[in-house]
Structure 1
């Protein structure tokens, strides 16, 4: 009997109870899955490693593109310098007492500039 009015308490509907139990089971299952995922340190560590690998790959690709672009620009500048040097009337230069073709000197300078750019780009 009810404490207030003396009437018998209503019996809950069987279908409503079953629906409530089903909802509680669903929520409990989701909670257990969330706790299991949080407790799985190995899987979480692997996931973080994969994210780090992806970031490093993207940064490496970006750096490679920048180095290639810089090398292409340097190569263009060296070619234009070599063309202008080759078109000049004086095609040999006195270096350390030896006569050397200007084109050879320009090619050597271009090689040195290219190597410096590649080494500098790989350090970044």
Structure 2
């Protein structure tokens, strides 16, 4: 019983056999890669580490932007306070320093929280 799809030419039959072997070898390699739990775990850990680094970089950028906004607002408030009609005692820079320190503490807390999530 011969299969009508089977080539009659021996060279063509050999070529099909080689192609089938190559396909089978590729399939075996793919299955072996899926079965390699240690390598897959390393890959997953590396991917997770990259995601954490990207998020941390984003948090650092946000903190830097927030610090810039706080610095600009503090400067503006200082100038407005200096130009105001308030008594000299109320125009001291100490309240502005407290506001700046509080803003810095908030920014540091955000960065620390982002790092602890790793």
TM-score > 0.5 by shorter chain: yes
Structure 1 residues 120, 22: CA separation in 2 closer, same or farther (over 3 Å shift)?
closer
Deviations 1:65-119 (A, max 9, x none): 11111111011111111122233453214xxxxxxx6122322222222212331
Counterpart position of 1:59: 55
The alignment of Structure 1 onto Structure 2 pairs a total of residues equal to 108
Higher Cα radius of gyration: 1
Counterpart position of 2:95: 105
For structure 2, the residue ranges without an aligned partner over 5 or more in a row are: 2-6
TM-score normalized by the length of structure 1: 0.74
In the alignment, the residues of structure 1 paired with residue 16 and residue 103 of structure 2 have an alpha-carbon distance, to the nearest angstrom, of: 76
TM-score normalized by the length of structure 2: 0.78
Which structure shows the higher strand fraction?
1
Counterpart position of 1:115: 105
Structure 1 residues 105, 32: CA separation in 2 closer, same or farther (over 3 Å shift)?
same
Structure with larger RCO (C-alpha < 8 A, sep 6+): 2
TM-aligned CA deviation for residue 120 of structure 1: 3.6
For structure 1, the residue ranges without an aligned partner over 5 or more in a row are: 3-10, 94-100
CA contact (8 A) 1:67 1:121 kept: yes
Counterpart position of 1:92: 89
TM-aligned CA deviation for residue 38 of structure 1: 1.0
Structure 1 residues 33, 120: CA separation in 2 closer, same or farther (over 3 Å shift)?
closer
Which structure shows the higher helix fraction?
2
